Structure 1
Amino acid sequence: MTSKLEQKENPQANGAVLPVVAGDCLGSPERPEPADFLGPDGPGVEVVVLESRANAKGVREEDALLENGSQSNESDDTSTDRGAEPTSPLKETSFSIGLQVLFPFLLAGFGTVAAGMVLDIVQHWDVFKYVTEVFILVPALLGLKGNLEMTLASRLSTAANIGQMDTPKELWKMITGNMALIQVQATVVGFLASIAAVVFGWIPDGHFSMEHAVLLCASSVATAFIASLVLGMIMIGVIIGSRKMGINPDNVATPIAASLGDLITLALLSGISWGLYKELESKAYVNPLVCAFFISLLPIWIIIAKRNSATREVLYSGWEPVIIAMAISSVGGLILDRTVSDPNFAGMAVFTPVINGVGGNLVAVQASRISTYLHMSGVPGDSPETAPRKCPSPCSTFFSSDVNSRSARVLFLLVVPGHLVFLYTISSMQGGHTTLTLIFIVFYMTAALLQVLILLYIADWMVHWMWGRDLDPDNFSIPYLTALGDLIGTGLLALSFHVLWLIGDRDSDVGD
């Protein structure tokens, strides 16, 4: 019977190696004959007993997150020849979570500070003065890091954590499909963002300019395309490097995407819109030509994305969150446009990318972590025992003992020290138009804490809600969450500046 039972030990996380004794087969309805267990060496042969895969769903959340282990998904359910898995998955402590998140968080924060400094400068350029709808594009295009790059980072992080990028063939397949996908999404979202900017700019004033509309379209599409191409390649490198260094990509990929995303996108938008604005009078054909060029590339990216099974579904079903998120961010852009257009509130420009970026970065990390945990428990549509049934209570989101609640506490506690560092950096560089008085810092911190508190709670509910409705949170949750971060952050910041103006804390010349 040696052909039926392989005489080798293969310790597994899903099975146990048990010696066969007389009592092991008692009571079995189909008990084999004792002779069937006899190998050439006698009755001491060991057999592998595999537990049901479904039993893995009952493990605690702390044991579900595999920090540094790579799990292969290539084995099938009936095979006893599976690759070795760690028998005791590493647990994440609050300290380990904070340590891994801290450096990328600070890096992302300094990226948003740089973006704020850029916005503070370019708001005085002619293109921002005379085509004020460009301000509406700012949150929408900066939000592309949430709509596209952060979603890409979350998708690839989950794929890496569950072993779908372990072989060169799988890696190349994920890279080509996802890069083509984000180029399609970037071009379409950039075009729609320009339409939203035109509409939101036209409604309050009742004035429409075709030249400005084409300028907005060309600037938006070109910025979205180039920024997504550059950031997509950076994200792939970060995730591959994280896996090789034994770092959880969920903790570092999305903040790094944000750190470079804001600065690169805003710099591209400012430079491209300024250059195209200069060509309006002498070479009016340049703007429509630029817009047509990038749109004409769409069929190529669609064909590549359709050929890849990993991105085909997102290509068809992933538009709703991206487009709705763009619309939400555009409302935040309208608030920004109406606020900074008033010289009394020009100081808001430098802080807008910072507060929006920090909130979006933190909630993206949390959403990506919860999504990875759920993917390790099953597939979308399953309902793990640990998932909230409907709307979670704030206590379960922030004060329970599971690893996702622990990470929510860690991320929330990073808000105040992080913003203090970023505010000090802005002040030391003499950026903005606002003196950092104590009352200003109190109002600013209140807005930032309230924003992140709301976002982390919404993330806990939204990711589980989407999972229970057979929607992959990696593709659907982060666009909504970062767009809400833009809207809530911009709204609370504008409210803070108006209240500060009313109570007499006014500055309009700092940094001029």
Structure 2
Amino acid sequence: MLTTVGLLFTGELLDHVSRWRAMQTIDELIIIIPVVLNLKGNLEMNLSARLGTAANIGELDDPITRRKIILGNLSLLQVQATVVSFVAACVSVIVGSIVQLTASSAIASTPDFDSGNTNSTVFHYARLPHRPMPPHDSKLKSGLTEFTMVASSAMLSTCISSVILGSFMCTLIVLCRRFGRDPDNIAPPIAACLGDLVTLCLIGAVSSVLITFLNTLYPLILGILLILSAIICFIFVRQNTFVRRLVTQGWSPLFGAMLISSGTGMVLDIFASRYEGFPLLAIVISGLPGSVGSILVSRLSTALHAAASTRVSSSRHSKEPSPRLVMLTLLLVTLPIEVAFLSTLRALGWLRLPIIFALFSVVFFCCAVCTSLYLAQFLTNFLWSRKRDPDMYALPIHSALMDLVGQLLLVLCFEIVTALGVY
């Protein structure tokens, strides 16, 4: 439920942020948002999974060990956030250049072109509704100045977000351990709920401040300072025996997830304007099954680490529910949330929902949840058999694939009800 509410607020906030001065001045600031949210969200999910596993196998019980693990993971998160945001800035500049060239070609080939009615289309990645780009009239062309502005805004906002959310997630997991709650059931949905919302708020706020210094050296100086900070954190991580090995792990699934999300963005871009309410429904049918799968990944990964560890007694393993029971429970828990979501949309008049369409959407939502759960189980076991830590490798790929599968199932749902003449 928290994940669904967080995703809805994120979509609504994006609608407002896209109208701010910085976003209307530089195209790449809009383009970078879905890329950053996709990559940054995976970092928080990985952090929650790693610390959840560490808590459940008893590594966080000793105060000295706990301090080293938490500080090491927070430093690692800063390094990852800086690299991820810089790569996202590069991607946004490339996509922005392609969009501008495409728009210029379209303008040149359109005899009746009206410069006041131009919109540029961007690829919108996981879990975010499609928003048309502001007009190109007063836009700045992509260049070194704009790239510095975009990169500095992205790096500063993601670094601040990492400090806030990372500290919160560490505190939450320690409290779960202290009060006898399983963090694998709590941390991943909370990370998914707050990650996008907080990062989007910070991108909007930081870019609004830095846009006033666009033609100065301040964005460049800020970017250099952030890179130096990441280097210091990297040195600290390399000296920490608990997280040293993690520096070189998990990068391939992060950027692989970004490529998969490109397909998701194209699906959303094609069908968002074709079907009424597609972006709003896509939020839940993609985001919620992905969050459910992340819970299962965390639980299975913890069980695998615990089985390989001497810290956890075999009597505790016998008390753990079977994976099939966990999967069935997660399915039954999410089904009422989907029904409540559709009922709320209908009651508030946000979307026209015929009964037949609602029934089909619930059926396809269940298909998405089942796909997410089986995919989570397969990825976790496969990666473990390949000597890869599921806490680092499984969640990014799983999240990106479920965004794509969820939206494809929603397209199929719309196609069926349209063929039946219901919608």
Q: Shared fold by TM > 0.5?
A: yes
Alignment of 1:403 with 2:322, yes or no, is yes
CA distance in 1, matches of 2:82, 2:167: 17
Please state how far the C-alpha of 1:475 moved relative to its aligned partner. Answer: 1.4
| 1:191-212 Cα deviation digits (max 9, x unpaired) | 1122223333433552662255
CA separation in 1, counterparts of 2:63 and 2:279?
A: 45
> Which structure has the highest helix share of the two?
2
TM-score under structure 1 length normalisation: 0.65
- Please tell me the residue identity of whatever aligns with 1:328: I
Q: Using the TM superposition, give the Cα deviation of residue 308 of structure 1 relative to its aligned residue in structure 2, in angstroms.
A: 1.0
Residues 298-447 of structure 1 mapped to structure 2, 5 A cutoff: 298-336=230-268, 347-378=277-308, 403-425=322-344, 434-438=351-355, 440-442=357-359, 444-447=361-364
Q: How much does 1:447 deviate?
A: 4.7
Q: Which region of structure 1 is more displaced relative to structure 2, 170-179 or 403-412?
A: 403-412
Query: Hey, what's the Cα distance between the residues in 2 that align with 1:337 and 1:274?
Result: 27
Partner residue, 2:380: 463
The aligned residue for residue 401 of structure 2 is 484
Tell me how far 1:497 sits from its aligned partner. Answer: 6.3
TM-aligned CA distance change 1:337 to 1:126, over 3 Å: farther
Say if 2:158 is the partner of 1:224.
yes
Aligned AA (1:465):
F
Output the CA distance in 2 between the equivalents of 1:277 and 1:499: 46
Q: In 1, are the aligned partners of 2:40 and 2:158 still within 8 Å (CA)? A: no
Q: 1:133 to 1:483 in 2, by over 3 A?
A: farther
Structure 1 spans left out of the alignment, 5+ residues? 1-105, 380-400, 507-512
The size of the alignment, in residue pairs, is 374
Change (3 A) 1:203 1:116: same
- d(CA) in 2 for partners of 1:269, 1:175: 25
Q: How does 1:133-282 map to 2 (within 5 A)?
A: 133-134=28-29, 136-144=31-39, 146-203=41-98, 205-206=100-101, 209-210=142-143, 211-277=145-211, 280=214
Identity of aligned residues (%): 35
Please, what TM-score do these two structures have when normalized by structure 2? 0.77
Question: What is the Cα deviation at residue 473 of structure 1?
Answer: 1.0
Higher mean C-alpha displacement, 310-319 vs 287-296: 287-296
Per-residue CA deviations over 1:92-144 (Å, capped at 9, x if unaligned) read xxxxxxxxxxxxxx222222222122234444556556655555434433334
Q: Distance in 2 between matches of 1:317 and 1:310?
A: 13
Q: SS where residue 61 of structure 2 aligns?
A: coil
How far did residue 367 of structure 1 move? 0.3
**Cα separation, partners in 2 of 1:257 and 1:346, compared to 1, 3 Å:** same
Deviations 1:361-405 (A, max 9, x none): 1111000111111112226xxxxxxxxxxxxxxxxxxxxx97111
Distance 2:142 2:82 in 1: 23
Q: Counterparts in 2 of 1:51-66, with a 5 A limit?
A: none
Instruction: Give how far 1:218 is off.
Output: 2.8
Letter in 2 for 1:166: D
Which digits, 9 at most, give the CA deviation of each residue in 1:149-173, with x for residues without a partner?
1111111111111111111101101
Q: Is the 8 A contact 2:41 2:195 kept in 1?
A: no
Matching of residue 452 in structure 1 with residue 369 in structure 2: yes
Structure 1 distance, partners of 2:18, 2:420, is: 26
Q: Quick one: which of 227, 231, 240 aligns to 1:295?
A: 227
